[in-house]
Structure 1
Amino acid sequence: MSEKSKGFIPVMLTPFKENGAVDYDGLTKLTELYLRAGAAGLFANCQSSEMFDLTAEERLAVTRHVVKVAGETVPVVATTTFGGEVEKQADFVKRMHDSGIEAAIIITNMLAGELEAEELFNERVHLLFDLTPGIPFGFYECPEPFKRVLTAAQLQQFVATGRVIYHKDTCLDIELVKAKLNVTSGVASFGLYDAYMVHAVESLKAGSAGLSCIQGNYFPELIVWLCENYDNPSASGQVALVQQFFVDHMEVMHHVYPMVAKYFLQKRGLEISMFTRRFSGVFDEGVKGRVGELYRCYRQLFYDIGLNMVTS
């Protein structure tokens, strides 16, 4: 994750069979789609993966499968902390690290409760570091069950240990993103990946290492294109079109997610089920129609900027 060129790190879906079992053939096809689209890395076992609805063994198996399919083409990171005593979480960190991931991702809401102090959270992070010597880490400001956003000072402190190489930022505040980038800018091994596409271009220009967003589960090649062209003077008009596209279509991509993303990928030709383990809303004809309109607009946008769709 230390490359200085901007990169897209997809927050991966987990395909399921209609009986609810993990669809490993579908996971292979999905992983290969991300790779053909030009992903710089892969974030397995995250919220988009329905990680809270996977067993511990499924989390390990899914991550191992992604690592195997990716080979050594791109690094893989995965969530490793799911609550309980820090010692228990450290044990699972080690098991996940043994799967071949480059960084063990800490969910920021799993080391301290919503009403517990920042100082307690910091202490537990350092304890987790002490219990897992030599393992690289990343942070993920997961919005469920509540969102704990790191301050710039916290991120600076953790990155200064040399143990943190990745941060998936979900603060939605470009000024806070800039503050985090400012205090970590001299650390070559660290990268901040922004999740909020409303300010994607501004974040990339401010120094973020790339993007890690759910929109990549609809059109990953478009996120890759933006990472490669955000500051290209000859493509400034096209960049503006792409940025506005994400602003205009933000709501439909979040509604009944991740089911809508799986439906969208079906429309693109990917053979996966729409099955999800977690109820996220009703996928009715109204939702289907809005996703159909998103599909039409995305096809038009690809035509307007001259980008080819990666085939499934």
Structure 2
Amino acid sequence: MSTTVERPSPRSIRWDHVVQELQRLRRSAGEPSYAELARSVTELRLARGLDEHSARVARTTVYDAFRVGRSRVNLDLVRDLATVMRAPEGAVEGWLEAGAVEEERSAPPPTEAPEAADPEEAPATLVDVPGPSRGVAVALVVAAVVANVLGRFLVDGLHLPIYLDMVGTAFVAVGFGPWTGAGVGVASNALGVLSSGSASLPFGVVNAAGALVWGYGVRRGMGRTLPRFLSLNLLVAVTCTLLTLPILGVLYSGSTGHGEDTLVANLEAAGQGFAISLAAGNLLASLADKTISGFLALVALSCFPWARRRGLDLLAPPG
């Protein structure tokens, strides 16, 4: 059974000192992701003999343990987190004592009776942060499909060597989940026949695969820092190229009339064989396209507080 200590009055410890020490410990441990910490705590509890249900801890619960402004703290979880991050024995108790002294020193002298704490003003926990309403969520998903189709119209009209038909896919895959993003990808390519004709349809599997990599990648900590998010976009690009090349080769003899064909032709003119030129041209276009799409989706998601606070652990875009 976990030990949860509640704040009985505004003069009690607010636990910020304990949380700040936990944050410092995480930085000194190399900033393991919250998912990694959740797995480590679960393994620690299983090793103690707890059953799987009792031992399991959610990633969002671990994320919440590192949030300052707490009105309560699960000390058992804090101790387990300190253990898996190799804190000295008794470190948590030391943090509690230091926090109590700090709170006592900073407490204002009692000049009047304190008002009762208002439950409505208590800091929201991670699970209390409301997501979009059903109507707003549906509207955003539809807007993502439209954004993909409009991006493809723009690319086809200007004969650009990129695609821009996965910005909405990335937005939904990261913000709403990988399989919802995959649905957006398939729907986008189905509507893409309006711009590109039936050639758009087979590439729906590519769009869907990109959504799965983006969605699951962010949920495994690949959106937490700039290098990790950049690596995630590159992984999406490679995945999409590996799926695109067989479609291009088998169904379209290597060409769909896209602006990428110019890049492939230039590589051939430089002395490369057709197969190498096709693979290299598609990969170069995909690397640029998925990086642009991923970061545009990140900027769009930054406009929604729920996208950054409901366990997604996304880096903040510049500016």
The TM-score normalised by the length of structure 2 is 0.27
- Structure (1 or 2) with the greater strand fraction: 1
- Structure (1 or 2) with the greater helix fraction: 2
Higher gyration radius (CA): 2
